[in-house]
Amino acid sequence: MATPAVRPLLTATQLGLLLRAARKRRGLTQAEVGARLGLSQNRVSHLEGHADELSVRQLLTWCAVVGLELGIGERPIPASESTTAVSTPPPASGGPATPPAW
């Protein structure tokens, strides 16, 4: 069995195109996906073009409906950036860590 292709997504537009293509490969209409997500066909159409508006819950459910698996991983750091990486100091007195400001 072939290993499924893993494609890095860098933009919301790429995500929307991937969700639309997977929906079509499964032979599902926007209305059918919407019914499973609790959304209207019109909203599914909108979200395919504006995937940055998807909630995490919607994205995970949508992936399940259209047969996609969502994964997350670290990108390799190019050698030119490895010396300029910012490290986050450990939290003071056991408190929650504050993410770095981007």
Write the pLDDT tens digit of every residue in 21-60.
Answer: 999 999 999 999 999 999 999 999 999 999 999 999 999 9
Residue 20 pLDDT > 70: yes
Q: Which residues 6+ apart lie within 8 Å of 16 measured at CB? A: 47, 48, 49, 50, 51
Write the pLDDT tens digit of every residue in 82-102.
Answer: 655 555 555 555 545 555 455
In contact, 101 and 87? CB cutoff 8 Å: no
Please give the model's pTM, rounded to 2 decimal places.
0.70
Domains of the chain: 12-66 (1.10.260)
DSSP-assigned letters across all residues of the chain: -PPPP-----SHHHHHHHHHHHHHHTT--HHHHHHHHT--HHHHHHHHH-GGG--HHHHHHHHHHHT------PPPPPHHHHTSPPPPPPPGGGPPPPPPP-
Please report, in angstroms and rounded to a whole number, the separation of the first and last CA atoms in the chain: 41
